[in-house]
Structure 1
Amino acid sequence: MRQESASPTRHLRVHRHRGHTVLEFRGEIDIASAAEIAPHLDRETGRPGARIVIDLRRIEFFDCSGLRLLYRARHQVLEQGGQVHLVCTHPLTLRMLRITGLAGMLPPRPTLEEVLGVSLPAARRTGR
């Protein structure tokens, strides 16, 4: 079940989906947008037992400020006994995650459905 979303900044949309909080990053994630996102990220990831999915499918640019946000979110969620997952398909961002080793700590998945273990009907999986 998906609940209504909130857009605390133009670079972040937050919504609930199947018992998880989805943090959808949007547009260019750089030092300026990271500063806007950080307080909202902290609020969501600092909750005990939080179940977080960070969705990067709608990003256009992602630099080391974005990597710091991912590392920060992972650290905070795990410290509170929660779970954190990453959805990412952007080739350059995937490369940055691999090069920095963050992909090993926070393995990216291509879809929200895969992260949440949702089986799609065959017609939707194949695009028919």
Structure 2
Amino acid sequence: MQHEPAARSPHLRTRQAGGYTVLEFAGEIDILAAAEIQPRLDEVTAGPGPRVVIDLTDVEFFDCSGLRLLYRARRRVLDQGGRIHLVCTHPLTLRVLRLTGLHKLLPPCSTLEAALGRPEAASGTL
């Protein structure tokens, strides 16, 4: 697995794995962190057929700003004919995903390996 040089945010690390760009969110994903993450997320989801995994394994706090990032990433990837998967195991973050219905649109996997093994992007509707 290759790592890209110099992370642009302490809340985000980007790397390549299994033909996907993996965006590893970390720490507290609030409005300030989201502002730091969004430009990189937009860069990764631009162009035809992006293949993206968003990994929330190292997230300690996740608010509506983080949800907006996930919705944005999903929309951009699917609009470009790409694939997107989510990794999440934190009980409180999973609860937020369930309460908002996002778990139906972007079903969380428990590991990166499971996400990389999924054949298609989640594209359900609420």
Q: What TM-score, normalized to structure 2?
A: 0.90
2:16 paired residue number: 16
2:67 paired residue number: 67
Q: Larger C-alpha radius of gyration, 1 or 2?
A: 1
Cα deviation for residue 8 of structure 1 reads: 1.5
- Structure 2 distance, partners of 1:115, 1:36, is 24
Cα deviation for residue 47 of structure 1 reads: 2.4
2:87 paired residue number: 87
Cα deviation for residue 108 of structure 1 reads: 0.2
Could you list the runs of 5+ residues in structure 2 that have no partner in the other structure? 119-126
Within a 5 Å distance, the mapping from 1:31-42 to structure 2 comes to 31-42=31-42
1:9 aligns to what SS in structure 2? coil
Could you list the runs of 5+ residues in structure 1 that have no partner in the other structure? 119-128
Q: Does 1:50 align with 2:50?
A: yes
Letter in 1 for 2:24: E
Q: What TM-score, normalized to structure 1?
A: 0.88
1:3 paired residue number: 2
- Structure 1 distance, partners of 2:3, 2:29, is 23
How many residue pairs align between the two structures? Answer: 117
Cα deviation for residue 84 of structure 1 reads: 0.3
Aligned-pair identity (%): 63
- Whether the 8 Å contact between 1:11 and 1:25 is mirrored in structure 2 is yes
1:56 aligns to what SS in structure 2? strand
Alpha carbon RMSD of aligned pairs, Å? 1.1
- Structure 2 distance, partners of 1:113, 1:43, is 24
Cα deviation for residue 5 of structure 1 reads: 3.2
Cα shift readout 1:6-32 (whole Å, capped 9, x = no counterpart): 412100000000110000000000001
